[in-house]
Structure 1
Amino acid sequence: MFLLCRAPVDVLAWGVSIDHLLECRSGRLVFEDFLRTEYSEENLLFWLACEKYKKIASKTEMMGAAKQIYTEFVQVDAPRQINIDCVTREEITKNLSQPGPNCFDRAQRLIYGLMENDCYPRFLKSEIYQALLEQR
Structure 2
Amino acid sequence: MAPVNDVVAWGESLDRLLECKAGRLVFEDFLRTEYSEENLLFWLACEDYKKITIETEMTVEAQRIYAEFVKVDAPRQINIDCVTREEITESVSQPGPNCFDRAQRLIYGLMENDCYPRFLKSEIYQALLEQQ
TM (norm. structure 2) is 0.98
User: Once the two structures are superposed, what CA deviation does each residue of 1:71-127 show, in whole Å capped at 9, x if it has no partner?
Assistant: 000000000000000000000001112101100000000000000000000000000
Structure 1 CA distance, aligned partners of 2:92 and 2:121?
39
Count of residues in Structure 1 that have an aligned counterpart in Structure 2: 132
Structure 2 CA distance, aligned partners of 1:110 and 1:67?
19
Superposed CA RMSD: 1.0
Query: 1:38 maps to which residue?
Result: 34
Instruction: Give the gaps of 5 or more residues in structure 1.
Output: none
Structure 2 CA distance, aligned partners of 1:51 and 1:100?
14
Equivalent residues in 2 for 1:48-87, closer than 5 Å: 48-87=44-83
CA drift of 1:6 comes to: 5.0
TM (norm. structure 1) is 0.96
Alignment partner for residue 106 of structure 2, among 89, 103, 110? 110
Structure 1 CA distance, aligned partners of 2:20 and 2:67?
27
* 1:16 paired to 2:19: no
Percent identity over paired residues? 80
Which runs of structure 1 show a deviation greater than 6 angstroms over 4 or more consecutive aligned residues?
Answer: none
Instruction: Give the gaps of 5 or more residues in structure 2.
Output: none
